[in-house]
Structure 1
Amino acid sequence: MTVDPRTPVVVGVGQFTERIEDSGYRGMSAVELATEAARAALADTEVDVAAVAAAIDVFVGLRQFEICTPFSSPPLGASDNYLRSVAGRIGADPKRAVLEPLGGHGPQKVLTEFAGAIAAGEADVVLVLGSEPGSTTRHFAKRDDKPDFTEHVGGQLEDRGFGFDQYISEYTVKHGLTGAPVQYGLLENARRARLGVGAADYRQQMAELFAPFSKVAAKNPFSSSPVERSVDELVTVTAENRMICDPYPRLMVARDQVNQGAATLVMSVDAARRLGVPEDKWVYLHGHADLVEQELLVREDLGASASAELAVTGALNMAGIGLDEIASFDLYSCFPFPVFAVCDSTGLAADDPRGLTLTGGLPYFGGPGNSYSLHGIAETVSEMRDRPGHFGLVGANGGVMSKYSAGVYSTEPAAWRADDSARLQAQINTLSQVTVTRDLNGRGTIETYSVRYDWPERTGIIIGRVDADNSRFMAITTDADLLALMTDGDPLGAAIQVAAADGVNSATLA
């Protein structure tokens, strides 16, 4: 087909990983990791790197974890303009630099957004990049010879803010929801309750889902932990595979101690032709959707995700294909739940022979903060080039299943179109909501739960229903009898007594 010259195409992808245990380890900053990935993306176009770099008019960055909050500073320092630090290193001087808020959905969301900007004539060549130096930061944290990654470059920067307030509140923080493992543990056990599966059997199912992911990661040269894990290794709690937050042992939790960078270069067909990028490098975005879930505590079913379901099905419908026509998947996998949520809602089998990841997944390939799915996009683009005319699906998740973005990619030419996200979002916005009781003095039952083994004192985190009116509440517990049930038994549906003090509900076994 003849495509409009404003049609956006992905023309270059790059990834970079350094591991502390490898020879040649350099201890690179977030800027340096992103620079290596950007150079790889430029080289991937197979044309004059300097000419392509000079043509980039927009840099879009995914925010590193260390700059995701105003309450602390990067331990080793950081650039005051991450994007322009990278731009200067690769010979670029973009008119616009944009830094995204917190959220793992970000890579697909901004790729869709700026592909649309290219189609509208608002940009011509866009580089999306992200990186995380978490492993290096931890490595040097207590050493005297730590590097200083501080840079002062200034220049224009459109900082879209932190965005963490979209995922937490004072109420949820007071009740222990201060990290992803406990947040997703609540969702996981809510799903288990809906399925009526025992704790041991559910852990087996999680391990059976993730063991094949580790097999992919073991063969990926960009993996942070290229080790194949058996189902038994993932299930069995040991000193190495200690419990983090119920129901997750360590090897089922996203690996945030990584040093990784990724970059994706998108440009108009006109720019690609002008710069001489070969057409066999072009990959088109056939379908896309970006959706926002209801706030956590008002969701009718905590064990499901409407945004994931509608984003994936919306992207497929836009592409005009069904799930059976997808050749490859890279589904966000910080924990099993986000993968299960897509499988449950679309009919995709957890053991589908096509596999559900191209990278190897966040616990094994690595979970580089907000930029993980940029690696998923890079792998999908490469896969599509190797399989011309086939389709690849990327599913990117942010927050506590709070936002979901999906994209369908192929080398098959396709005209750029706006998606159906507004209509799909309206469906989510009109879903029924559960009433929340903030302070409870009375009896309730446990709807879902997690146990924080990562705190100095083992603590149970509960979402429950009030016996009197079936409204929802949160509570915490250090009660020995209740904790014993939560760690060694099955507390789903258990009766509890709750007392409120200073904005915190505390529970004991009724």
Structure 2
Amino acid sequence: MTGDDRTPVLVGVAQATERDARSEPAPEPIAMLERVARDAGEDAGAGSHLLRSLDTIGIVNVLGWRAPNPAAFLAERMGAKPTRTILTGTGGESPLVLLAHAAAEIEAGRSRAALLAGCNTLRTALRARRAGRRLGWATGPESPPFALSGHKGGSSELENLYGLSSPPVVYPLFENALRARRGLSLEAHCRAMGRLMSRMSAVA
């Protein structure tokens, strides 16, 4: 690699899982993001020094958390002063869209060090809603981030009208449409999908 090579590389990664979301109080989104960010800094071997030198922080939209600019909020917690903060839209493709955007910015010379993060708090939010509790999660600064791929809902008004707003409800419709198009019985379709997914499971 030459001195002016701008090939994007991953220098640190981290992941945290809260398997018992029933604990009270459940971790707030900002605390979860800060935890994995600091762990990623340690994994990179540069710790807080790297985090403070970030010029870009991008966050995958966190369902159930109405923070205007979670990237700026995370920067405050870590003592970072990025020149750009990014928030993705809603959708399963959002993490890869964010990764591709950050890599392109580095390759173009517009960024030198970026942190990309996200967390899933949906189970905690849904449990609180069913119990009639307000979570009162901190939301941080109001400054607007750069909106990557827009901020639109994951489903249309028509889909919402019929309760088609979450993957466990929508994906079975896709499955049945695929099965009907191929002219398969339910049993034959299940066998075909099992053969397909078993190879993926073996790789995972």
TM over 0.5, shorter chain: yes
Q: 1:351 aligns with which of 188, 198, 204?
A: 198
Task: Tell me the SS of whatever aligns to 1:153.
Answer: coil
With over 3 angstroms needed to count, the CA separation of the structure-2 counterparts of 1:123 and 1:20, relative to structure 1, is same
- Deviation of residue 136 (structure 1)? 2.3
Select the structure of larger CA radius of gyration.
1
Q: State the distance in 2 between where 1:94 and 1:40 align.
A: 19
Cα deviation per residue 1:283-315 (whole Å; 9 max; x = unaligned)? xxxxxxxxxxxxxxxxxxxxxxxxxxxxxxxxx
Cα 1:42–1:25 shift into 2, 3 Å: farther
Q: 1:166-185 residue pairs with structure 2 within 5 A? A: 168-174=155-161, 177-185=164-172
Residue-by-residue CA offset, 1:418-441 (whole Å, 9 max, x unaligned): xxxxxxxxxxxxxxxxxxxxxxxx
Query: Shift of residue 21 of structure 1?
Result: 6.4
User: How far 1:35 sits from its partner (Å)?
Assistant: 1.2
Distance apart, 1:194 and its partner CA: 3.3
Question: CA-to-partner distance for each residue in 1:465-499, whole Å, 9 max, x for gaps?
Answer: xxxxxxxxxxxxxxxxxxxxxxxxxxxxxxxxxxx
Judge conservation of contact 1:96–1:156 (CA < 8 Å) in 2: no
1:59 Cα deviation (Å)? 0.8
- Tell me the TM-score normalized by structure 1: 0.36
* Aligned length, in residue pairs: 202
**2:123 equivalent to 1:135:** yes
Could you list the per-position Cα deviations for residues 2-41 of structure 1 after superposition, in whole angstroms to 9, with x for gaps in the alignment? Answer: 585211111111111112268x765111111111111111
User: Which amino acid letter does the alignment assign opposite residue 196 of structure 1?
Assistant: G
C-alpha distance in 1 between matches for 2:128 and 2:200:
42
Which protein is richer in helix relative to its size?
2
Say whether 1:56 aligns with 2:54: yes
Checking the alignment, whether the CA contact within 8 Å between 1:63 and 1:100 is kept in structure 2 is yes
The answer to whether the Cα contact below 8 Å between 2:69 and 2:87 also exists between their aligned partners in 1 is no
Calculate the aligned-residue CA RMSD, in Å. 2.9
CA contact (8 A) 1:81 1:154 kept: yes
Which residue is 1:154 aligned to?
A: 142
Listed as ranges, the matches of 1:448-487 within 5 Å are none
State the 1:112 CA deviation. Answer: 1.3
The 3-state SS of whatever aligns with 2:89 is coil
Q: Paired residue for 2:30?
A: 31
Structure 1 counterpart SS, 2:139:
coil
Counterpart of 1:153 in structure 2: which amino acid? P
Any stretches of 5+ residues in structure 1 without a counterpart? 67-73, 210-348, 358-510
Counterpart of 1:34, as a letter, is L
**d(CA) in 1 for partners of 2:142 and 2:59?**
16
- Equivalent AA in structure 2 for residue 159 of structure 1: A
Provide the rounded CA distance (Å) in 2 between the counterparts of 1:187 and 1:353.
19
TM value normalised by structure 2: 0.82
Cα drift, residue 356 of structure 1: 4.4
Larger strand proportion, structure 1 or 2? 1
1:197 to 184, 195, 204: 184
Residue number in structure 2 paired with 1:42:
41
Aligned match for 2:99, one of 111, 125, 147: 111
TM superposition shift of 1:169? 4.0
- Cα deviation digits, residues 34-69 of structure 1 (max 9, x gap): 11111111111012x121011100111111122xxx
